[in-house]
Structure 1
Amino acid sequence: MNLEERTAYGDIGRKGLWENNTALVQLLGLCPLLAISNTLVNAVSLSLATVLVMALASGAVAALRTLIPYEIRIPVFILIIAALVTCLDLAFNAWLHELYLVLGIFIPLIVTNCIVLARVEAFAAKNSPLAAAWDGAAMGVGLLWVLALLGGARELIGAGTLFAGIDMIIPGAQAFRLLGDDYHGLLIAILPPGAFILLGLLIAARNAWVARAAAARPAAPHAPADAASA
């Protein structure tokens, strides 16, 4: 891989993780973002499933893009995504059944997640399979870190714990009670209003960071007036 290709892949990763983050910038996929982020384990589990689907779906669409007629591309894209999600749903049911019962309908709903279809249509259908898979994974990881941060904050504020439900994945493992046994929790953090409030704070923090970075960046030098008139 030459320098130009490494730079291109670096740009794809940076856009997916930060500059064009699906949760904080595009505000896509808010249904699972707000509904399933009540604990860190739930948030990360659904995020990893989404990352896997996005990477595989993007790579598959990119590999088949020349064979898919333009007029029926959207139904074919949805069919590919649905097939992958069905396999993932069956795998969760077979190997992580307790977690499968908790996540419930949100695993099949990955099919209708606008993040997945948007990246397949906007990027995978126009680029190579490797670049498309990398783009899908980067966008998915961008969603993952936001969901993990949101889920961890909601669980910690709402219940005083982290990794509640980890025993559904690792038998015998226990959650960490970080705020002591006397902490009774703040119920609103676990309820949907708490998700909206914390997500709004995350978006505001990102926007403030970007604005401060832009203000600290040195301005481009301007051409002299006489040179411009000449």
Structure 2
Amino acid sequence: MHAARADLQALRAVGAEALGTMALLAIVIGSGVMAERLASGNDAVALLANTLATVLGLMVLIELLGPVSGAHFNPAVTLVQAARGALPRGRALPYVGAQLLGAAAGAWLAHAMFDLPILQFSTKLRDGPGQWLAEGVASAGLLLVVLRATPQRAATLVAAWIGAAYWFTASTSFANPAAAFGRMFSDSFAGIAPASVPGFVLAQLAGAAVGLALHRALGPTRTAAG
């Protein structure tokens, strides 16, 4: 009975990661499509609208699904949490698989809502040392927030960091390998060309490692060691 209950809990957690990542990508891509249509060519207004939708949606998703799965929605977060023992290592691969599938499904859902071709690939190249450094900074900051925020404030602080990093980083802060993966399936405002994805993912993983190192260097938080 105990094993069956544990298996059901693990299945629910993996499902929550797929659902949350799908919803997050639908929010990011869908709000980008809407913003681009309404902004009349003003990229600053479009980015502001895209940022607000992402921040609000991310807060809701973390609050709703955090108690089920931890609300990672991000392979970099999952791998760091597994490496430090905060997530059973056997869940890491299912989490990452669910996040990637959810990200692609989120792109397709956004397209369906806006009557766009479901299957497409982005042509928006995002390359260069500045972009890669920006992704490393955004990812390091995100992991530092995730690891040090109290559970009560995690949703607000994570969303606030992502919203700020949309504007102060050259890459507009993907900070998430699943987001990069999903956004390559959308030739829209939020898209990234497939050829640009490997550089972003490597930078994100490196940034996540830096975030973990900074967390350890800063010492235990008020509520937990780690």
Structure-2-length-normalised TM-score: 0.29
Given the two structures, how large is their TM-score scaled by the length of structure 1?
Answer: 0.29
